[in-house]
Chains A and B, each alone.
Chain A
Amino acid sequence: MPAKASSVPGSQDFAIRARNLSKQFGTLFAVDSLDLDVPKSQIYGFLGPNGSGKSTTIRMLCGLLTPTTGTANVLGIDIPGDTSKLKPKIGYMTQKFSLYTDLTTQENLGFIADVYTIDRATRKDRIEELLEHYDLRAQRKQLTGTMSGGQKQRLALACAVLHRPELLLLDEPTSAVDPSSRRDFWAKLFQLANSGTTILVSTHYMDEAERCHRLAILDKGRKVADGSPAELQASTGMIVVEVLAKDTFAAQTCLANLDEIASVTQLGVRLRILIPESVGQPLEFIENALRKNNIGAESAIVPASLEDVFVAVTYKGGKKELKE
């Protein structure tokens, strides 16, 4: 970690580089010494529970909040600094719907187009294109306050990308929509990334995090892990064992009491066990433990999911210290 980075050199390959970025509200560190490298034309995810500093980081990166310490370089523009040149280059979708609920879909799009001074010759075509692409033609004359969560979210995305920004910052964009709308939404995000837009998206859904090219896991304002989903899954330092026991409850009680085991999660009738790699032969270790307690069970090593990664990296900061 660089002690006091005065200015972060902008790189051709990164849309965002942040060093030691912190934001303090009173005595609370909402974001604590965050280093971030977001490559261009990729979808970069922020995964973390509520209050982990996702929104605060996004707000600092678009110039809405001034960092307490640390610096960032977003699309070649230094933060803290004059962010007025940054505004036309970024699109920002707020967590709460922030378009005018007493205007229609078309009026909102028209307003955004004028505010970004979209060329008058292409203004109408661009709005039509977005209405078509985001499936909002039927809602053209509807007041946005009366639209469904999914429709509002598509309109918010359409408004955020209207001026074709280089960087799109999305703050929990799918928190108010149903699963099928989420799938469609992510398909749209990939189309944008494929056409060269860099996307930073925060979420607390594991399945969404898994779709990102790269992601950072945030916990209590700190970055606890980052990398591609595959890298993260490979480097947990944990083995994941699934156990199918005759008496699930007895097996869970037995295994949870063992110091060597990091976590036991019940998934239906199965138990998902996280056990550090430092414990040699984890499968035999578990089977022996269950046999000693006369619990009949089948167990197998399975690949780590992102949820396992999340549990593993946040576990280190938990109450129980891992025995290495």
Chain B
Amino acid sequence: MISMRRLFAIVRKELQQLRRDRITFAMIVGIPIGQMLLFGFAINTDVRNLTSAVANQAETHLSRQFIAELSQTQVLNIQYSVSTVRELEALLRAGTISVGVYIPPDFDRRSIDPQRAAAHLLVDGADPTILAIANRLATMPLGFDASRSTPPPRTLEVRPYYNPERRTEVNIIPGLIGIILTFTMMLFTAVAIVREREHGNLEMLINTPVSTLELMVGKVIPYVVIGLIQLALILAVGRLLFDVPIRGSIVDLYIASLLFIAANLSLGILISTLARTQFQAMQLMIFVLLPSILLSGFMFPYEGMPVFAQYLGEILPNTHFMRLTRGIMLRGATLAELSQPLLILVAFTTITMIAAVKRFSRRLD
């Protein structure tokens, strides 16, 4: 029932308009590269150089050696030296330091007593990441401890698969593809129908033989191509700057991305039929964008979220895309192994597109 002639009339018109909108045109290239550089470098859960202060009340050779070893881990960046616990607490409260090291006067004696801790770490516990780092530091052996000639036996040995160097970028960048595509794809289509309504073009358009499906699909097609171009840019930057591997098939990655792009564009079009003004469309878009960042497994491990948040996350295309990209890029999985998130994306696109077509009225009342 779709007329190809009318469909491509819409596609061509969208491209002609886009070509003249220089800022939007620049954003197609600018947003992916800019955000990749920004977040690729900025987001780092591998915490180092926590600003710290030391209150060394022992002032012995042993205690100074201990402080030197703490510095060598590069986890703490010891910038202040004070004399009392109270001063440490004051610095902590003021937010000047994240960690305070208190070495009591009887440090030397404590260090050989297995029943007692040799020193104290005062930590700003409000940030769980810093707290976790501090807990790791707590088990640091005293290298100069003569009584332990062999390291303590380990119960478990951790073997980090797929990311042996434990680099954050490797995990961040596949996720970032999803965030950037969600953002730009919805940005383009969320205003697509509303803009025509606000400019008065829609009254003319709905009086022509153009069908609703032709209009919707015609508006989506140009951005599918743009989405794939953005994907290529992101992958190139990821490869060149952050050395992110693509262990699976690049074709699989493109197929998964194609479905994800379609899902976001349909959602954008649906938003565009719900909103009456471009401003409303923007608000609705942000409403979807924030959960896509926070609940999709991009920021926090999905398994660690409360069950209701996991259900919410399941609705978002980005959650499924995150599983696809991390699977293909990092674990070298094939699409056959990842069929579930793939099918969910197809279902999501179909449902939102049908909703958008149903929701769009060819009348003014």
Contact = CB atoms under 8 A, between A and B. Distances in A.
Interface stretch (B116-124, B182-190, B200-208): B200-208
B9 A115 contact: yes
A179 to B, nearest CB: 25
A281 B13 CA distance: 67
Contacts of A84: 209
Interface in A178-232: none
What 7 A-B pairs come out closest when comparing CB atoms? A114-B9, A98-B204, A92-B207, A98-B200, A96-B200, A115-B208, A64-B364
A165 to B, nearest CB: 10
A117 B363 contact: no
Contacts of A116: 208-209
A59 interface: yes
A102 interface: yes
A98 B203 contact: yes
A65 B200 contact: no
Interface in A300-317: none
A116 B6 CA distance: 8
Contact of A115 (B16, B20, B21, B210): B210
B145 interface: no
B66 interface: no
Given A64-B203, A64-B207, 9 more contacts: A63-B207, A63-B363, A65-B365, A90-B207, A96-B200, A100-B13, A107-B16, A111-B9, A115-B9
A117 B6 contact: yes
Interface in B351-365: 363-365
Given A84-B209, A114-B8, A92 B365 contact: no
A143 B16 CA distance: 11
A101 B199 contact: yes
Nearest to B363: A64
A65 B201 contact: no
A99 B203 CA distance: 10
Interface in A248-286: none
A183 to B, nearest CB: 26
A59 B364 contact: yes
A99 B204 contact: yes
B163 interface: no
Counting contact residues on chain A (CB < 8 A from B), the size range is 20 to 34
B18 to A, nearest CB: 10
Interface residues of B, number: 24
A116 B365 CA distance: 24
Interface in B54-72: none
A87 B207 CA distance: 6
Interface string B323-365: 0000000000000000000000000000000000000000111
Nearest to A108: B13
Nearest to B214: A115
B17 interface: yes
A101 B198 CA distance: 13
Interface string A35-76: 000000000000000000000000100111110000000000
A94 interface: yes
Given A114-B6, A117-B3, A98 B210 contact: no
Contacts of A90: 207
A149 interface: no
Contacts of B159: none
